[in-house]
Structure 1
C-alpha cells in the first residue's frame, strides 16, 4: 500500500472531496484523522472507512481557529509519533452568480480571507511536526485558472492559495516537507462523471475518486520529487 503506516489529517473531512480523499488515504494504509465543524457527518465518513477495514478518528474543529488547530495537531502527533500528511479541503464560503461590479467588497474578500487563513493555519500546524522528522506532505484542494465570469472571490481565493502553497514549499522544502495543490474543474455532481466540463479536452470530468487517487499519489513516495506543484485534474480545461 502506498501510504502504509502514515498518519494523515484531513480538514473538511465530511465534504465530498475531503471524504473521498480520506477514504483513499485509508485504503492505501494511512490512519486518517478527520476534522470539521460538525461531528455527525464526520462520523459517517469514519464509519465507512472502518467498514472497509481502515482506521479513522474524528474531531470537531474550526480550521480558522489557529490555537485549536495547533492543539489538534499536537494531539495527533503525540498519539502517532508524528504527522505525515495534511490535506485541506475546507470550504471558502464564497458567493457566486453576481458580477464583481455589483458585489460588496466584503463578499469578494470573504472567501479569499478564509482560504488563506485555513491553509496557513492547517499547514503550519502540521508542518511544525513534519520538520522535526524531516519529512511530510501538505496538500490543498484548489480551484481553476480558467476565466469564468460571476464567480465572485472564488478565483481570487484559488490564486491566493497557489501563492501560499508556493511560499510554503520554498520555506519547507529544505526541511524535507513537500507542498502541492490540486486543480479541478468544479465539483462533479452525481451523474455528471461521464460528462465533460464545458471547454475541456477530455470527454469525462474527474469524479471524486479521481481526485482522491491524485491526492494519494501526491502524498506517496512515488511523488517524492514533486513540490511547489499543481496537479491539474481539469481534463484539459486548463492547459499547461
Structure 2
C-alpha cells in the first residue's frame, strides 16, 4: 500500500495474482465438470464417457497430467508473466479434475454417484476455502520475531496448533482441522467440541453407553442433514441410494 498524491494505492503481490488465476480456473473447471457429468448421467447432450480399449478413462487422469506438466514447467523454468498465469490456470484446472474424483482415490472404485462420492465435493469445497484464505494473505507460519527465545516460543505455538489440528481431524472435522492450520484460532475451538460418533476419536475415547457417546449421537444423529448438505446435493447431484 503506497500513498501517492493523497491517493492510497493497494499493490497486489504477484503470488496473490497468480493465486487468483489458479483459484478461478479451479472453480470454473469444477463447476463445468459437474455440469457435464450430470448431463452424461441424464443421457442429455453430446457428452459421453471416454473409453480407450474398453477401459473407462476417468477425468482425474487428465487432471493429474495437467498438474504434473504445470509443476514440472514451473520448477524448471520459473516463467514470468504471462507464463506464470498460464501455468496457474493449468494447475488449477488439473486440480479440479483430480479432486472431482477424490472419492476414487480413497475407495479405489467408481463411487462417483454413490453417497461415498460426496467426499469429492467435500474436498473441492475445502480446496476453495483454503485457496481463499491463502489469497487473503493468511500465513501463520511466517516467524517475524527476532532472537532464539522468540523463535522457540513461535515454534512451540505452531507445534501446539498442529497437534490441535490433528486432533480436530481425528474428531471427524477434517475441514476445520485443515483451516485451523491457516487460522490458528479455529483449531482450539473445534478441538474442544464433541467428536462425531463415527470418528476415530469417538471410537477411542467414547466407550459405548458413556455420556460422551450419547451426547455425540444427540449432536450428530444418523441421517443428519444441514444446509451445507443441501448445497452439496445441488452442486454435485443427489447421490444414488
Specify the TM-score bucket, using the shorter chain as the normaliser: under 0.3
Higher strand fraction: Structure 1 or Structure 2? 1
Higher helix fraction: Structure 1 or Structure 2? 2
TM-score for the superposition, normalised by structure 2: 0.25
- Tell me which of the two structures has the higher relative contact order, counting C-alpha pairs closer than 8 angstroms and 6 or more residues apart: 1
